Amino acid sequence: SKLQSGDGMPRFAMHFYKNDKLDSLLNSFYKTADKQEQLEIAHGIQQIIAQDQVTIPVLSGAYMYQYNTTRFTGWWNEENP
């Protein structure tokens, strides 16, 4: 997609995938405010991405965060979701 090509606008997904139909659907999605039309377009986008398997995740990093209640309160936890 032109949105992932890296030309003029750096992106995180630098796989240089290109699909003119996908670009057309993405442009159409942003040009309409009709929710039903957006839903149909989104289904088309999802179908292309699923068929082409643009990216395949090979690992998932664990995210660990530390927090301290000495100076701040209100952290999310089991008692305070």
What span, in angstroms and rounded, lies between the C-alpha atoms of 75 and 42? 36
pLDDT score of 1 more than 70: no
For 24-51, write each residue's pLDDT tens digit.
999 999 899 999 999 999 999 999 989 9
Task: For residue range 50-77, list pLDDT tens digits in order.
Answer: 999 877 777 766 666 676 778 888 877 7
Q: What does the alpha-carbon distance between residue 18 and residue 2 come to, in Å, rounded to a whole number?
A: 7
> Rounded to the nearest 5 degrees, what angle is found at the Cα of 5, between the Cα atoms of 40 and 42?
10
This prediction's pTM: 0.56
> Which residue type occupies 27?
N
pLDDT digits (tens, 9 = 90+) for 6-16: 555 555 556 67
Cα dihedral angle (46, 50, 52, 55), rounded to 10 degrees? 100
List the chain domain ranges.
Answer: 1-81
Token representation of residue 36? 């039903």
